[in-house]
Amino acid sequence: MTELAFHSLHYSPMFGSRVPLTEVLDAAARAGFRYIGLDQPSVEAYLRGKRDENALAADLDGRDLRCSDLAVLRVGADERQVVAEAARLGDLAAVLSAPTVVAAVVTPHTTESLADVVGRCADVVGSRVRLGLEFSAYTELATLADATAISAQVGWNRVGIVVDSLQLFRTGADSSEIMRLRGDQITAVQFTDGVAAIPADLAADSRRHRLVPGTGDLPLHDFVAAIRAADYRGPVTAEVLSTELRQRDPFETATSIFHAMAGYWQ
């Protein structure tokens, strides 16, 4: 049975939410999730409350939650800063036993320079942590093929791909592209729905207007079949970033998403 993960991004300070991380953890655990992804702004707000990383690990353990990933390492123009941030996230991942640090490319790079900085980041996150490259049509790493090329160049043992259902379909690809991957080349799977028509503002669509699985138009059953055909063995993480959902009680949101995801994966 596929394990399901919630994500703190749903109520992240990045999007203006003031819901404490501990309340998001409670909601995820009560809704039935056994994994949760953590975003950096939520963790930083938690740490400002005079608690440390070990306390966060204990908060996860106390709720029978495991950390699926840490998001997000922003791969920008200042490569020294990027590598330093990768090391910091790697240290946090080690404390939380998180297997993946998600990386998003936010400034232009040549293929050579991107492979170089991603390789250096992979070196410093630690031997038990892998980078997961996130592709999306509105970033510098625009397609699954782009992410595959960089991962292959750096080495699949160090880097893999984050496959997001919305981002895949927004690039104009279909689920058959996933079946070109082996399951161990996928570091994380993110699951959400959306409208069929590709919006003019892809960033806003991704951050504010995602839909609970089964309430939109994306061919999610095909996506699920392709992920299973690739023999991916890790948890599948909800990433239903939505301004509307952020206004709701976290337990209500987590419960509705859990049941929707279970209908596809369990």
pLDDT along the chain (266 residues), means of 10: 96 97 98 98 93 95 98 96 97 97 95 96 94 95 96 97 98 94 97 96 97 98 97 97 97 98 96
Q: Interior CA angle at 214 toward 228 and 98, to 5°?
A: 50
Could you give the CA distance from residue 195 to residue 205 in angstroms, rounded to a whole number?
9
**How many independent structural domains does the chain possess?**
1
At 110 the pLDDT is 93
Check if the beta carbon of residue 110 is closer than 8 Å to that of residue 158.
Answer: no
* pLDDT at res. 49: 85
**Residue 14 structural domain:** 4-265
What are the tokens at 4? Answer: 């399901």
- Quote the CA–CA distance of 266 and 161 in Å, as a whole number: 23
Q: Give pLDDT, residue 46.
A: 97
- By C-alpha distance, which of 197, 180, 174, 193 is closest to 231? 180
Structure tokens at 240: 């239903």
Distances (CA, A) of 9 to 16, 184, 195, 207, 226: 11, 25, 21, 10, 25
Only one residue has tokens 């492979």, namely: 115
What are the backbone dihedrals phi and psi of residue 44, each rounded to the nearest 5 degrees, phi first?
A: -65, -40
Task: Check residue 92 and report its DSSP letter.
Answer: H
pLDDT of res. 50: 77
Query: Given this model, what pLDDT does residue 199 score?
Result: 94
CATH of the domain at 37: 3.20.20.150
Q: What is the pLDDT of residue 51?
A: 84
Helices (H) and strands (E) in the chain, counts: 11, 8
